Structure 1
Amino acid sequence: MVNSTDFPFFILSAYVDLGRLKYFCFTAVLLLYIVIVAANVFLIVLICIKRSLHEPMYVFLCSLLVNELYGSAGLFPFLLQQILSDTHIVSTSACFLQIYCLYTYACGEFCNLAVMSYDRYLAICCPLHYNTRMTANKVALFITVVWLYSSLETLICIVLSSSLELCGNRIAQVYCDNFPLVRLACSDTTVNNIYGIIATIFAVVVPLVLILFSYIRILRICLVGSRETRQKAVSTCSPHLASLINFSFGCCFQIFQSRFNMTSVPSMLRVVLSLYFLTCQPLLNPLIYGLRLSKIRNMMKPLLFCVM
Structure 2
Amino acid sequence: MNITLIFTSYGPPGALNYGVFVISLVVFLTTVFANVTLMLVIYLDTTLHKPMYIFLFNLAINGLIGSSAVLPKIMENLVSDMKDILYTDCILQVFFINVYGTCAYAILTVMAYDRYVSICKPLQYYNIMTPGKIRILLFIVYFSPVCSLAVQVYLTSRLPMCRYTINKLFCDNLAVVNLSCVKSTWGDLYGISLVLVFVVLPLILVILSYIKILCVSLKASVSAQKKALKTCTPHLITFINFSLATLFSVIYNRFNFSLSKEVNVFMSIHFILIPPLLHPLIYGIRTKEIGNSLTKMLRRKIVALGFNVRTEHSHNDAVFICTK
The equivalent of 1:268 in structure 2 is 262
Deviation, structure 1 residue 19:
2.0
Aligned residues: 302
Is the CA contact (8 Å cut-off) linking 2:13 and 2:79 kept in structure 1?
A: no
Q: Aligned partners of 2:238, 2:176: CA distance in 1, in Å?
A: 29
| Structural mapping, 1:239-250, within 5 Å | 239-250=234-245
1:138 to 133, 140, 148: 133
* Aligned with 1:214 (options 206, 209, 213): 209
Report the counterpart of residue 277 of structure 1 in structure 2: 271
The answer to whether the aligner puts 1:257 opposite 2:252 as a matched pair is yes
One-letter identity of the residue aligned with 1:100 = F
Contact 1:72 1:279 in 2 (8 A): yes
Structure of higher CA gyration radius = 2
The separation in 2 between residues aligned to 1:270 and 1:195, in whole angstroms, is: 28
Contact 1:118 1:214 in 2 (8 A): yes
1:154 equivalent to 2:132? Answer no
> Which position in structure 2 is the counterpart of 1:117?
112
Q: Secondary structure at the match of 2:30?
A: helix
| TM-score, normalised by the number of residues in structure 2 | 0.89
Aligned-partner residue type, residue 173 of structure 1? K
1:156: how far off? 1.1
Inter-partner Cα distance in structure 2 for 1:305 and 1:249: 37
User: Residue 292 in 1 paired to residue 295 in 2?
Assistant: no
What CA deviation, in whole Å up to 9, does each residue of 1:112-157 have, x standing for no partner? 0000000000000001111111101111111111111121121111
Counterpart amino acid of 1:101? F
Residue 213 of structure 1 deviates from its aligned partner by 0.8
Give the Cα–Cα distance (whole angstroms) in 1 for the partners of residues 195 and 62 of structure 2. Answer: 19
Task: Quote the residue 1:223 is aligned against.
Answer: 218
User: Are the counterparts in 2 of residues 13 and 173 from structure 1 also a CA contact under 8 Å?
Assistant: yes
Cα distance, 1:307 vs structure 2: 6.2
Task: Assess if the C-alpha contact under 8 Å between 2:234 and 2:283 holds in 1.
Answer: yes
Counterpart of 1:54?
A: 49
RMSD: 1.6
Deviations 1:255-278 (A, max 9, x none): 122222x23222321221121121
| 2:180 counterpart letter in structure 1 | A
Is the contact made by 2:10 and 2:17 (CA closer than 8 Å) also made in structure 1? no
Q: Label 1:250 to 1:126 Cα distance change in 2 as closer, same or farther (>3 A).
A: same
1:40 shift after superposition: 0.5
The answer for unaligned runs of 5 or more in structure 1 is none
The alignment partner of 1:11 has SS state of strand
Is the Cα contact below 8 Å between 1:75 and 1:98 reproduced in 2? yes
Which deviations, in whole Å up to 9, do the C-alpha atoms of 1:142-179 show, x marking residues without a partner? Answer: 11111111211211110110011122011111001110
Cα deviation, 1:66-95, whole Å, max 9, x if unaligned, reads 101111110121112111211111001110
Aligned equivalents of 1:51, 1:227: Cα separation in 2: 31
The answer for unaligned runs of 5 or more in structure 2 is 303-324
**One-letter amino acid matched to 1:134:** M
Tell me the SS of whatever aligns to 1:34.
Answer: helix
User: Match for residue 203 of structure 1?
Assistant: 198
- Aligned pair partner of 1:183 in 170, 178, 181: 178
- 1:238 and 2:246 are equivalent in the alignment: no
The letter for the 1-side match of 2:164 is N
Q: What's 2:100 paired with?
A: 105
Percent of residue pairs identical: 35
Task: Give 1:48 deviation, angstroms.
Answer: 0.6
Does the 8 Å contact 1:250/1:274 carry over to 2?
no
